[in-house]
């Protein structure tokens, strides 16, 4: 015979299990994303070392463009212009 107390206990177990499954899925996904990113980076670096002539590219040749920091908006008068030249 199922009582309200045992039913609630069962529901909490299911809820906890669902939560852990979700966390595990996120962790596994993150691991694969990390592996994929690492693999991709390695592949690009390999191309770098073999495609710039007999001595390869320099040590500064990165696998991608370096984004740096986004600018911020300003309402002050500019000091210099950037435009097509």
Binding site for other proteins (CB under 8 A): 47-48, 51-58, 60-85
Specify the residue, 4 or 71, whose C-beta has the smaller distance to other proteins. Answer: 71
Single out the residue of 51, 71, 69 nearest to residue 61, CA to CA.
Answer: 51
| 56, 48 contact by CB (below 8 A) | yes
Specify the residue, 3 or 82, whose C-beta has the smaller distance to other proteins. Answer: 82
Residues 36 and 57: their CA atoms lie apart, in Å, by 24
Specify the residue, 4 or 53, whose C-beta has the smaller distance to other proteins. Answer: 53
Report which DSSP code applies to 58.
-
Residue 57 CB neighbour total at 10 angstroms: 15
């Amino acid at each position: 015979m199922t009582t309200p107390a045992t039913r609630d206990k069962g529901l909490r177990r299911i809820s906890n299990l669902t939560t852990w499954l979700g966390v595990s899925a996120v962790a596994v996904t993150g691991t694969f994303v990390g592996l994929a990113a690492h693999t991709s980076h390695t592949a690009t670096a390999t191309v770098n070392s073999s495609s710039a002539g007999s001595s390869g590219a320099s040590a500064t040749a990165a696998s991608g463009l370096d984004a740096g920091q986004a600018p911020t908006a300003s309402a002050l008068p500019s000091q210099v212009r950037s435009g097509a030249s």
